[in-house]
Every structure is written in structure tokens, then in C-alpha cells.
Structure 1
Amino acid sequence: MVWGIAADETHRLLIAPSLDSMVYAWNMTGAEPARWERHMLDEHKDEVWRVAVHSEPEVGNTPAQPRFLTGSLDGTVRVWSKTGDGFRGHLLYNTSHMVTALASSAWIAHGDKSGLIGLWWRPDNWYRALQADSVMIQA
């Protein structure tokens, strides 16, 4: 079962989290979906509920690389980067509560079942946490 979906038009990616703990990513090259290259990413340990496209700012003459975020029932938020023929996940955040919300621009925001809202500013690795009034945050 698919809980969400995100599309990155710039890098031609389609990403879907799934209840089987997998993240599915397709390179949308060509007009025929049957020919799109599919990647099955398995670094989460439990159901994956949230996904968001993330673009970090360009650095000098280096263009922004395709990245996306996933949030899971396992309490982790991962940042996925394109690497050669596939994707590699990096642990951004780990908690004992399921991740219930994700959003991204130059900032990364996540929410969890405890009511915590985390804000990241990735270029400087700046982080701040906000606490809602013990209400579960959902996208």
C-alpha cells in the first residue's frame, strides 16, 4: 500500500513510500512508464509513511543534486541522494516516535507522534525543535 507520493520535475523522479518498509523511486526518462528505471530502497526498518522532495542550494558552480526525504514508523527521517546508478540514504533524525509529517524547501521540517516539530537548515546543519501541545502532528 502506498501512503504518499512525491515528484521532482527538475530531476525527473517519482518517489513513493510504502507499508512494506520500502521506498520506490523511478527515473522518469522517456514517455513510456513501462521503461522507467525503478529503484527499491530498503534502509527503513518499518512502514514508510511520508516523502518529500528536497533541493539543497547550489554551491558555487555545482548544481543542486536530486534529493528526497522519507519518514517512517521506525522513527527515522532519511535524506536520499542520487549516486551513480541508484540512491543512498543518510540518517537525518532518529526518535522513538513515528514520523507523521515531512515538508521541505531550503528548510526541512518533520513532525512526530509526540508533537515534536523539528526544523533543519541543511547548509549550516542548524536545528531547532518546537513542541506542540501534546497533539500528534500530521501532514
Structure 2
Amino acid sequence: MSDLLKSMTAASSGMAAQAARLRLSTENIANADTPGYRRKLVTFEVMEDAGDSRAVATGRTFLSRADLAQIYDPSHPLAGADGSYEGSNVNLMIELGDAREAQRSYEANMRMFDQARQMASSLLDLIRR
């Protein structure tokens, strides 16, 4: 039974980590047209206190160091003397791909959790007999 609980712990931590990744991806998409916005990224870390269950947690969130796009628009309020301003460094195609990957990873963890839950329920049913 302990192994089933460990797998459920790993799956639930994976769902929480992917949910955080998806949240950052949606923030990036929402701010793609915001001047000066830098893409946010998150790291994953193995939880040390989870024993050998391979649970993960989100690490620190950091800003992308990629250069900001230079946009030429002399009519924009933020435009400098040369008529350009700094846009964001968010690439919508990358963000959509990351969001889809996070969604599918979340769903895989959810299926793993549900499978472990069903196995634990079946084990308890066998024990009751």
C-alpha cells in the first residue's frame, strides 16, 4: 500500500508543478503585447523530503534573458527619438507549445493518480473480503 501512496504523491506533485507551468505560460501569452515584458520561466526540483517517491516541486521563477524585440512605431507613446520602443520577448508559438505540453503532462499525472487510486481501492476491497 505504501508504494501506491508514493505513486499518488508523485502524481499529485506533478499535477501541481504542471499547473504552475501552465499558469506562467498563460501569463506570458496574456502579456505578449505588453512593452518591456520579459517571458517568465519556472524550474522543477525533486523534493528531498518525499523519500523515494520521485515527487517534484516548482523551483524558482525567473525572467528570460532573451533580448526584447525592437518595434518601430513613431506614434507609440513609449517610442524614443528614433521612433522605436522595446516590445516583449514572448514568442506565441513557443508559449502555445509549452502550454500544450504542460496540459498533456498534467493529464498524464492525473491518469497515473487515478490508476493508483483505483488500485488502492481494489486492494482494500480484497482485504475486506
Tell me the TM-score normalised to structure 2 length. 0.23
Structure possessing the higher radius of gyration over alpha carbons: 2
Structure having the larger proportion of residues in strand: 1
Q: TM-score under structure 1 normalisation?
A: 0.22
- Structure number with greater CO (CA < 8 Å, separation at least 6) is 2
| Structure showing the higher helix proportion among its residues | 2
